Structure 1
Amino acid sequence: MTNSRRFLLQISLSILFLSLSLSSAHEKPPPPQDTNPPQPSTTTPPNDINYSFSASANYSYNGAFSKVFAFGDSFTDTGNAYLLGGLKSSFMGSLLNAFKSLNSSQLSGNRQCNGRLVVDFLCDSLSIPYLPPYKQSKVNFSNGANFAIAGATSLSSDFFTRTKNNHNNLNLLWKGIPSSFQTQLDWFQKFLQDTECKGKPESACKADMENALFWIGGMGRADYARTFGTGSTFKIPRLKELTVAHISKFLQTLTEKGAKYIVVQGLPPVGCCPLELFLSKASDRDQMGCASTINSIIMAHNELLQKMLVDFQKKHSQCTIVYADYWNAFKTILANHKKYNFVEPFKACCGSGGGPFNFNTNSMCGAFGTSACKDPSRFISWDGIHFTEAMHRQLADLFLNQGFCKPSFDIMIKVKLGLKM
């Protein structure tokens, strides 16, 4: 592909991305409905997109990227928080329970899940080894590294100290205030200096980065969790603006280092997790059956994030920026959970208390008296906060193969390989 054709292709992608993001079209009709599924919303959320343009189900990604760099929070972390000693002892029991129940191939590292995460299934699709956590010693980083840290915030730790936004429920999981995403950037730049690009000229290092895939997991969930419901005087709309602005700066730093192919995840409807359902009032429910107030915050975050990505793509036409629509992927699975082999859409597999959520902040997964379900593959939630391997598998399939990215993931692959569109 000539430089002029590649440039025109990138501009076309930017226009496609812009038109899709600002479209008011209804979302793609979901797969055949269950006989009695949770009732989805009758109104179209601002960030619902028509996904009919994608047809990537049978596309092979083997060899498309030989190197991946991942960033994010506990939904992407493969062991950094554990290696940093940032998890409390009770929550460490959750990790032990997870690996006791693991029925897939044994994984290295420590995930807050009973098995593989979306980023692991991404590696499967690319036919590369799972990404080792950056803080793990004596490992092979030849196929990339995972810099994600469970509980990471977009805003600095100082911000939460100054504003006293430090949710007690989050302190059940982590010691003190977790690291910010700036820590992950610092690690990445040190990794380039000491390992990846050691002895290479800057131009060669940047060229290597241009051939890698950068996967940006969820950013912002911990920021909202540490502010929402704490009684803080800091306003959520301002927090949303600051969080998305920090994500933009994060992407800018990566592109300056050579990142050219970037996937950015949105946030899932957090209000559908047992933790938020347990903490919210029974009257605070949306038409998905989830906590309405926190979901409205997440929806607004995703809308602003998509607008930022459109602007960022326009300013960086040499890059391919893909938005992974976590909200609508989750919503599709929830509305059709039986089709996806889930029988418990709102109940934690590992926890205590039974009832509709099997979740209690005073006795969380791993604590004395808690237990894991016999078949985690039938549950969406692993521990009330994080998803099961089965849920991550379905989400990864929707992102990579079913068009729940925009532009679709196969378009990025075709751009990377210089294939005809």
Structure 2
Amino acid sequence: MINSKHFFLPLALFVLFLSISPSSAHNKSHNSSHSRKSYEGCFSKVYAFGDSYTDTGNCVLLGGLKSFVGSIFSHFGSVTNFKKSTNRQCDGRLVIDFLCETLSLPNLPPYKDTSSDFSHGANFAISGSTSLSMDFFIGNKLGHNLMWKGMPQSLLTQIDWFTKFQQQSSYKIEMEKALFWIGEMGLNDYARIDGSSISTQWLTQLTVAHVCKLMKTLLDSGGKYIVVQGLPPVGCLPLALSSTPSYDRDEMGCSASANLVTKIHNELLQAKLAEFRMQYSHCTIIYADYWSAYKTILMNPKKYQIEEPFKACCGCGCGEHNFNVHSLCGSPGTFACKDPSKYISWDGVHLTEAMHRHLANLFFHQESCQPSFDQLIRSKKGDQSSD
């Protein structure tokens, strides 16, 4: 756990301390909502890809979740004002929801909800989605399903969906004016090869290559503004902490072995993004540094009113991390905590709405994007003024 240090402060420093206290942090958060108004009108459409950290309902509509997962959503009404019918694997909103709020757009509808209004974009992300194809996992007999039925859909499915949407949709996409959000992709691949003889290094190369394939598809189709999200420090989740020995810990108190995989993935992804920026110099491609944003919150939990950085809010009520892979949130005997805002993890695998809110603030209003999200907005405004 992270230890806080207490100091005796002279009066002047004490006054300074008060200026950055939680109540002041709340004011800063409140003030940041005013800065979001400057983003209004910059983008009228957003298109998103990714896994469960971005999915706003596709997996549910596909019938891809195990039956007990549905009861997770029954907790929503008691722990958040966000409607439980939105089918997110969270107690409320995701980063993609806060992105839409920042741009003053409605929540992004899942592609498979054919009754939705797609005039402001669509979400192609699928919970459990892998970068590698379904055939790869079937051929290698790699199941490892936690909350999903059968074999996973892949990023290739999302690319196919987007291509069909381009060809068949009655909505005008306007590629050069839309914002494309590529959420995290690869965690489900790494989870599925755990314990197998498949090389992690080989998988990293292939996983990043598939993300690059999606980027190239978007850029070659006229996309000009793209945000690519890196992987979070998955070793900090209750799932990893409960399945690795106590000596396997890094400076953050997380599983060092699990985090090493995501570090290597992120480094390769950033190197590839640099190549894309050179090749598509007229486009704005930014990296959402999930790792550094997550670490910022984890290393200073009190600033973000986090009291349980390594414990699941919804779980079995057992063990140090409130997590048991055989008794996942939503299954019989599990329950949700009273205040998810004090937790980083919702169910041991996914994050709470509060954590998504903190991450979104770091992405959109601070320095956790490279280049900054504000620079992307300035580029878009510059293009709008030249039209």
Give your verdict on TM over 0.5. yes
Partner of 2:91: 114
Are the counterparts in 2 of residues 128 and 143 from structure 1 also a CA contact under 8 Å? yes
State the secondary structure of the residue aligned to 2:301. coil
Partner of 1:305: 269
Cα distance in structure 2, aligned partners of 1:359 and 1:294: 17
State the secondary structure of the residue aligned to 2:217. helix
Structure with the bigger RCO (C-alpha within 8 Å, sep 6+) is 1
Match of 1:257 among 221, 246, 250: 221
Asked if 1:92 is matched to 2:70, the reply is: yes
Asked if 1:367 is matched to 2:344, the reply is: no
Partner of 2:151: 177
**Cα RMSD (Å) of the superposition?**
1.8
Partner of 1:164: 141
Asked if 1:71 is matched to 2:49, the reply is: yes
Are the counterparts in 2 of residues 109 and 133 from structure 1 also a CA contact under 8 Å? no
Are the counterparts in 2 of residues 163 and 234 from structure 1 also a CA contact under 8 Å? no
Offset, 1:348: 0.4
Offset, 1:127: 0.3
Partner of 2:9: none
Partner of 1:189: 163
Cα distance in structure 2, aligned partners of 1:115 and 1:291: 27
Asked if 1:326 is matched to 2:304, the reply is: no
- Supply the AA of the counterpart residue of 1:66: S
Partner of 1:220: 186
Q: Gaps (5+ residues) in structure 2?
A: 7-30
Partner of 2:125: 148
Offset, 1:197: 5.5
CA displacement 1:284-343 (0-9 Å, x = unmatched): 111111111010010000000000000011111121100000000000100001110000
Cα distance in structure 2, aligned partners of 1:149 and 1:67: 19
Offset, 1:189: 1.0
Offset, 1:219: 0.8
Match of 1:276 among 214, 218, 240: 240
Aligned residues: 355
State the secondary structure of the residue aligned to 1:119. helix
Are the counterparts in 1 of residues 74 and 84 from structure 2 also a CA contact under 8 Å? no
State the secondary structure of the residue aligned to 2:205. helix
State the secondary structure of the residue aligned to 2:305. coil
- Supply the AA of the counterpart residue of 2:379: V
Cα distance in structure 2, aligned partners of 1:34 and 1:196: 56
Partner of 1:47: none
The structure-2 alpha-carbon separation of the partners of 1:107 and 1:260, relative to structure 1 and needing over 3 Å to count, comes to farther
CA displacement 1:202-231 (0-9 Å, x = unmatched): xxx6xx110000000001111111112x2x
Partner of 1:139: 116
The range that moved more, 299-308 or 273-282, is 273-282
Cα distance in structure 1, aligned partners of 2:5 and 2:170: 53
Cα distance in structure 2, aligned partners of 1:255 and 1:63: 22
- Supply the AA of the counterpart residue of 1:90: F
Are the counterparts in 2 of residues 71 and 217 from structure 1 also a CA contact under 8 Å? yes
State the secondary structure of the residue aligned to 1:226. helix
Offset, 1:138: 1.2
Are the counterparts in 1 of residues 159 and 214 from structure 2 also a CA contact under 8 Å? yes
Offset, 1:107: 5.9
Offset, 1:68: 0.2
Offset, 1:101: 3.1
Are the counterparts in 2 of residues 266 and 324 from structure 1 also a CA contact under 8 Å? yes
Cα distance in structure 1, aligned partners of 2:318 and 2:343: 14
Are the counterparts in 2 of residues 101 and 372 from structure 1 also a CA contact under 8 Å? no
State the secondary structure of the residue aligned to 1:338. helix
Matches within 5 A, 1:4-153: 34-35=4-5, 58=35, 60-97=38-75, 99-106=76-83, 108-153=85-130
Matches within 5 A, 1:332-343: 332-343=296-307
Offset, 1:96: 2.6
State the secondary structure of the residue aligned to 1:129. coil
Match of 1:267 among 231, 245, 248: 231
Cα distance in structure 1, aligned partners of 2:82 and 2:136: 41
The structure-2 alpha-carbon separation of the partners of 1:107 and 1:64, relative to structure 1 and needing over 3 Å to count, comes to farther
CA displacement 1:93-123 (0-9 Å, x = unmatched): 22332x2334224265210000000000000
Cα distance in structure 2, aligned partners of 1:355 and 1:197: 50
Higher helix share: 2
Offset, 1:244: 0.7
Cα distance in structure 2, aligned partners of 1:399 and 1:154: 24
Percent identical residues: 58
Asked if 1:239 is matched to 2:217, the reply is: no
Q: Gaps (5+ residues) in structure 1?
A: 1-32, 37-55, 199-204
